Structure 1
Amino acid sequence: MSYVLGVDVGTTRTTAAVCRLEGGRDAEIVLVVPSLLQLTDAGTFSVGEVDPVGWTASGFARRVGDAVPFSLGPEVVPAEELTALLVMWVINDVVARQGEQPRHVAVTHPAGWGPYRRGQLHGALRQVGVHDVTLVPEPLAAAENHAVRARVLPDSTLAVFSLGSHAFSASVVRRTQGRTFELVNHVEGVDQPVGGDLDDALAALVRGRLGKDAFVSVAECEAAKRAFGPSVVVAGVEVTRDEFVEEIRPAVDQLVATFVRAAGAVQPEAVLMVGGGVRMPVFGDALSATVDCRVLAEAAPEHSVAKGAAVAARLVVVGPEAEPEPLDTSVLVHTREASLRFPVGEVAQADDEEFTAPPPRPPVDVSPLELPPPRSKRMTRVLKPTGRRSGSRSD
């Protein structure tokens, strides 16, 4: 069955969703893999798994357009090429699962990217053979995912509160007369708390009871935070939700205040919470107490952007005028409800801008550093998938 593909390359995880061209517009998650690329000593690349022998790159998606490349042993690789290689691997893996090529691919990117960074990623994708692709800003993808389930009238606005492991952003988008979304305002958190800081706060609480030299797994803290009930047990120590909320309250207040500044005088129809960091009810409660509108999230808010990218790819193929408006908006619920979540939901196709010069930067006196030339063409040829991960498919 024909399908389109949406890919969200996050700092921690990369998520892929497909949307069928026949039937409903709902997108489904088909792949979740760590955003890791490893160069082995044999000169091949693996994806998503780390071997003790080799050089690993992570966090490259947010550094697209950075003049400083990644150094992986004998190779020097720009961030956009690593991102393109990961996207290519994802496409190949999904094709193996679906049995056919996608009709179109949409890849998300931070809303703050300008023509230079988008051009860099477009060029890198072409280099690895990915040509039929649309780049979609993350908040617009989140809005598209919302629009699948709820009718969004022209000229109405939505706000997007996004909190991941390593990034925070606040955005306002508007529905156009052509049933697409446009970006009204956006704030990218620079010195803002992120999901990883909340993990550290939980680890600090546990370490305070075990002793400052006690080992506390950050991965265990992240898993506990994502599944926080009345209490969690980390390293044998029970931490109640109230204790943890009290610990992170300054961070929550800071993020909500930044979101309010980004929204300005705009009165949104709803606030969409996306990213794995918003799973805790404290964020929904804090936003609900601050804004006079609905505050909404999915059961798995970290998947919202990837699913919205797949919806955007479908709109590129079939056109927004061919898609009926949702009839039932009863699935929208307030975050204070026990069920808490609902499946959230055209992005105008991004222009395939030509390569442009990077934005001007302040003059800085830096001693020149001679770097060996990149060998990306060889890396593209030797990319070696690790195979399907037993835990990569998401229900």
Structure 2
Amino acid sequence: MLVMSPGPQGTSLGIDFGTSHTIAVVRRADGGVRPLLFDGAPLMPSAVCADAEGGLLVGRDAVHAGRRHPERFEPNPKRLIDRPSTLLGSREYPVPDLIAAVLGAVADECRRVVGVPAQVTLTVPAEWGPARRQVVEDAAARSGLGRVRLVPEPVAAATYYAEALKHRTAVGSSIVVYDLGAGTFDASVVRRTESGFETVALDGRGDLGGLDIDAALIDHLGKVYGTREGWQRLMHPETVEERRHLRDFQEEVRGAKERLSRHQQSDIAIPLLDVEAHLTRSELEQIARPHLEQTIRVTLAVIRAAGLNLADSAGVFLVGGASRMPLVATMLHRELGIAPTVLDQPEVVVAEGSVLWTSSEAATLPFQRPYTPVPPPVRAAPVPLTPQNAPGAAFPPRTQPQPLGPPPQQDTPPEPRTAPVAPFSPPPQTLPPRTAATPPAPAPEPPETDAERLRRKRTGRRVLVWFVVVDLLIVAGLAWYFNRDEGADGTDQESFDAADSGAGEGMPAIGAQWSDAEMGDQVDELLGAHDSPVSSMAALETDDGPMLLTTDGSEIRQWSMDTGAFIAEYAIDGTVGGLWTVDDSEGVPSVVALTDDYEPWMWTPGDGAFAFQGTPDLDLEDPAERVRVAFTEGEPVVAFVTATQAQMYLIESQSLTDVVEIPAGLGYPNYYIDGDTGYSEIATVSGDELPTVVDGLSGSVLGTVDPSDEWSDDADVSGMGVVYDDGTPYAMVYDDRLVLHFWSLYDYTPALNTVAYASAGDRFHNEILAAETGPALMYRNKDTTATSLLDMQSSATFPLEPGGGAEVTSLENITVDGGRDFAVTGDSNGNIQFWSLGL
């Protein structure tokens, strides 16, 4: 064992043993902090390579030797933490020996520079269990470091944020730590206590980091150069020389990625092809975006699990080498509404924070205080496609009917770090924290069948998610979704008792007649809901159960979906053009009514008080043709869209965003929210009649879809909308041959199946429903007012006819009765009907 000479009293050594690099920092007795340098640089590769005598080279020596002997080389020993051993060349090496070799190099350098430190801290992921921690402790002892103190990485990062950067972190305040390293991603909420910092919520991905972005870049280059002679030999090396070329190529790609953090373009030398490939920052960002979106989903879920209000947080801190990409900070700022703290050298933060931790009161804390892992949702949300879950796997051949919903689940990794995370949607209530003492989660259920999936929609999906219920004016001519009939102006901003309202008698409570009906059967009717045609409806979940809100343009009335009772009436100044439900910035389900003068009124049912009422002074050149209410930019917004422009009004802030100019040549603009990131985007149709996505804040084109086999020059676009399957957005294009086509708005590829419809006047509601026959769409013919359900697999229709000579004037769907969907229609006689989907 290495014997280290005594160093100055009070000297501390902090080590961050990372996937790709190891960083070590020394804190002297006088408080001065400096990094240890390895071959003149603060970052030492964590790589090891076996030499001819069976010894282990580390750091840059290992990288150099690995180019000549790639079969003996291991670049990322940290990724082998769960293995007992690994093969280097012809010899088996215990994994703790590899880690000990790397830490031994740190011990040698520390001995040379300052001698023996009084304290040694070694950082590890906060969720690592006793077995992994023991491997690291054993390796440290073998390396000559002696006994080390293990510090959770997010605690070390938070300590650096407070101590080195001097950010105010009062007791009780929290820091969001976003740690994107080479091989892993971790998101944590770390709270300041009287005795230091503790991790209160965390989650991460063990298979997502800078190395995975490197792999995606290589896949991208393969699409361009993959047919050239030599590419297959480069990607699947069989000789030592070919393996050396692959290692050099991987280093080229990694270097180009890092250069693109500083410059707008970079070249990559591709061995065996004798090619200099050109890569721009915009290409890198397009490739990296799907990976970064996954990290943002995890971060948002961790924030929700901690019950953290970001406005009250001490800040968001980026650490880890891969977080240096400018796109990381941009996406987080856009999503969270808070500018994260970014450093020039985010790699050194954790190591330096660990030595600062040793001098703080936090050093008295045990390794791991109880924390709250992110509770896995009942069902995973759809995940945007990446090179790792190939597009073909997510969408079967389009000639066969296919189920809708998320792509197949990936295999579960050994450590439960990659639990699926729901898309950003502030929940109606904070999920209860699961402490360290909580028993392990039960084994996952067997994969559900298509029929089970269709029967399963999350309870209150239509009344809880922030996607707007009605996509107003999906194409020109959908004026029936935005009824502008004049009604009596309200005078009071209050809710009234049912006895004073003159409303109808109400409807029966949900009972057996709702459960036994077949698809298309009317299961209930609310007579006399209004004295004039029902113009809009919306539904939401409250503490008192699911509620239905209806309006005829004048009065807004609220009904219990549990009891059928009339609850309240609301009056606003102006004619009501539409109703929506959306979560407010605190995650509380609320109602938004929009007048025909585009004034939004927002309130929470139950208290009857209007929380917000705005009068946006739009800067649009033309009147809005399409209107959406949704949740983005951290609060509810109203989006107004013309043929050439778009603008958003933030309801709570009562402020307008800049006007977005929709690029020339794009038609049928439809504002929507990306269900994975919460970003505002606009789906349009290009001059080539292909769906094109535009950024909702900048107007820049994000991508154009790939044409499908069924899409040809013989078809012309006659309309376009955005349709959701359980929150996943798809572009829905009407062609003049009466066929609907669908494209994923995550990766711009053909999706679902084409669907035949009956008439050019048919206009479809923006939600795919789970029905008895499979996925279904609701639609209404704008010319005849006939309303039906359309089976998306057989194109069979199920009429929804209110009877009594009435015409359907409003169309909606609700989720009640244990999470089942029902179609709801409002008619010209002021009545409301409920229709079964056969489940």
Class of the TM-score when normalised by the shorter of the 2 chains: 0.7 to 0.9
State the shift of 1:76 in Å: 4.0
State the shift of 1:249 in Å: 2.1
Q: Residues 187 and 44 of structure 1: is their aligned pair in 2 closer, same or farther, counting only changes over 3 Å?
A: same
Q: Distance in 2 between matches of 1:297 and 1:84?
A: 32
Partner of residue 119, structure 2: 104
Partner of residue 171, structure 2: 154
State the shift of 1:175 in Å: 0.9
Q: Which runs of 5+ in 1 are unaligned?
A: 321-345, 353-357, 364-395
Q: Is the 8 A contact 1:185 1:262 kept in 2?
A: yes
SS at the partner of 2:202?
Answer: strand
Q: Which amino acid aligns with 1:30?
A: L
- 1:39 to 2:67 alignment: no
Q: Distance in 2 between matches of 1:161 and 1:208?
A: 32
Q: Distance in 2 between matches of 1:234 and 1:72?
A: 29
Q: Distance in 2 between matches of 1:172 and 1:127?
A: 33
Q: Which amino acid aligns with 2:328?
A: F
Q: Residues 118 and 211 of structure 1: is their aligned pair in 2 closer, same or farther, counting only changes over 3 Å?
A: closer
- Written as runs of structure 1 = structure 2, the 5 A alignment for 1:345-356 is 346-348=362-364, 350=366
State the shift of 1:60 in Å: 2.5
Partner of residue 256, structure 1: 296
Q: Deviations 1:214-248 (Å, cap 9, x if unpaired)?
A: 56822112111112122222233332222321232
Q: Which amino acid aligns with 2:279?
A: V
State the shift of 1:263 in Å: 1.6
Q: Distance in 2 between matches of 1:205 and 1:160?
A: 30
Q: Is the 8 A contact 2:56 2:101 kept in 1?
A: no
Partner of residue 99, structure 2: 83
Q: Distance in 2 between matches of 1:56 and 1:241?
A: 31
Q: Residues 204 and 263 of structure 1: is their aligned pair in 2 closer, same or farther, counting only changes over 3 Å?
A: same
Q: Is the 8 A contact 1:29 1:303 kept in 2?
A: no
Larger RCO: 1 or 2 (CA < 8 Å, sep 6+): 1
Q: 1:201 aligns with which of 206, 216, 224?
A: 216
Q: Deviations 1:170-223 (Å, cap 9, x if unpaired)?
A: 111111112x111111112045x4212222333344444445435682211211
Q: Distance in 2 between matches of 1:247 and 1:88?
A: 38
- 1:93 to 2:124 alignment: no
Q: Is the 8 A contact 1:17 1:30 kept in 2?
A: no
Q: Which amino acid aligns with 1:222?
A: R
TM-score for both structures, normalised by structure 1: 0.73
Q: Distance in 1 between matches of 2:89 and 2:219?
A: 34
Q: Which runs of 5+ in 2 are unaligned?
A: 1-6, 235-245, 270-275, 369-414, 417-439, 444-839
Q: Residues 310 and 212 of structure 1: is their aligned pair in 2 closer, same or farther, counting only changes over 3 Å?
A: farther
Q: Distance in 2 between matches of 1:361 and 1:130?
A: 37
SS at the partner of 1:296?
Answer: coil
Q: Is the 8 A contact 1:141 1:347 kept in 2?
A: no
Q: Distance in 2 between matches of 1:40 and 1:230?
A: 40
SS at the partner of 2:87?
Answer: strand
Partner of residue 201, structure 2: 185
SS at the partner of 1:185?
Answer: strand
Q: Distance in 2 between matches of 1:133 and 1:350?
A: 13
SS at the partner of 2:255?
Answer: helix
SS at the partner of 1:219?
Answer: helix
Q: Is the 8 A contact 1:159 1:173 kept in 2?
A: yes
Q: Which amino acid aligns with 1:71?
A: L
State the shift of 1:34 in Å: 1.4
Q: Distance in 1 between matches of 2:96 and 2:132?
A: 9
Partner of residue 375, structure 1: none
Q: Deviations 1:136-186 (Å, cap 9, x if unpaired)?
A: 1111111111122223211111111111221111111111112x1111111
Q: Is the 8 A contact 2:13 2:26 kept in 1?
A: yes
Q: Distance in 2 between matches of 1:240 and 1:45?
A: 38
Q: Residues 347 and 286 of structure 1: is their aligned pair in 2 closer, same or farther, counting only changes over 3 Å?
A: farther
CA RMSD of aligned residues (A): 3.0
Q: 1:176 aligns with which of 171, 190, 193?
A: 193
Q: Is the 8 A contact 1:171 1:183 kept in 2?
A: yes
- 1:118 to 2:133 alignment: yes
Q: Distance in 2 between matches of 1:298 and 1:87?
A: 26
Q: Residues 233 and 136 of structure 1: is their aligned pair in 2 closer, same or farther, counting only changes over 3 Å?
A: same
Q: Residues 208 and 362 of structure 1: is their aligned pair in 2 closer, same or farther, counting only changes over 3 Å?
A: same
Q: Deviations 1:310-348 (Å, cap 9, x if unpaired)?
A: 3224x1xxx53xxxxxxxxxxxxxxxxxxxxxxxxx354
Q: Is the 8 A contact 1:5 1:106 kept in 2?
A: yes
Q: Which amino acid aligns with 1:281?
A: P
Partner of residue 649, structure 2: none
Q: Deviations 1:229-278 (Å, cap 9, x if unpaired)?
A: 22222233332222321232222222211211122131332111111111
SS at the partner of 1:225?
Answer: helix
SS at the partner of 1:87?
Answer: helix
Partner of residue 141, structure 1: 156
Q: Residues 187 and 351 of structure 1: is their aligned pair in 2 closer, same or farther, counting only changes over 3 Å?
A: closer
Partner of residue 28, structure 1: 35
- Written as runs of structure 1 = structure 2, the 5 A alignment for 1:1-395 is 2=8, 3-24=11-32, 26-31=33-38, 32-48=43-59, 49-50=61-62, 51=65, 52=68, 55-64=72-81, 66=82, 68-72=84-88, 76-96=92-112, 98-147=113-162, 148-150=164-166, 151-178=168-195, 180-191=196-207, 193-213=208-228, 214=231, 217-228=249-260, 229-235=263-269, 236-264=276-304, 265-266=307-308, 267=310, 268-313=313-358, 315=359, 319-320=360-361, 346-348=362-364, 350=366
Q: Distance in 1 between matches of 2:210 and 2:126?
A: 19
Q: Distance in 2 between matches of 1:85 and 1:349?
A: 29
Q: Residues 254 and 124 of structure 1: is their aligned pair in 2 closer, same or farther, counting only changes over 3 Å?
A: closer
SS at the partner of 2:110?
Answer: helix
Q: Which amino acid aligns with 1:34?
A: P
Number of matched pairs: 324
Q: Residues 304 and 114 of structure 1: is their aligned pair in 2 closer, same or farther, counting only changes over 3 Å?
A: same
SS at the partner of 2:194?
Answer: coil
Q: Residues 261 and 91 of structure 1: is their aligned pair in 2 closer, same or farther, counting only changes over 3 Å?
A: same
Q: Deviations 1:63-120 (Å, cap 9, x if unpaired)?
A: 43x2532234575443234223321221112221x14222211111111112232233
Partner of residue 371, structure 1: none
SS at the partner of 2:182?
Answer: coil
Q: Residues 237 and 135 of structure 1: is their aligned pair in 2 closer, same or farther, counting only changes over 3 Å?
A: same
Partner of residue 335, structure 1: none
Q: Distance in 2 between matches of 1:82 and 1:94?
A: 19
More strand per residue: 2
Q: Which amino acid aligns with 1:177?
A: E
Question: Which one has a bigger Cα radius of gyration?
Answer: 2
Q: Is the 8 A contact 1:134 1:350 kept in 2?
A: no
State the shift of 1:29 in Å: 4.8
Q: Distance in 2 between matches of 1:251 and 1:41?
A: 39
Q: Distance in 2 between matches of 1:241 and 1:74?
A: 42
Q: Distance in 2 between matches of 1:201 and 1:126?
A: 38
SS at the partner of 2:282?
Answer: helix
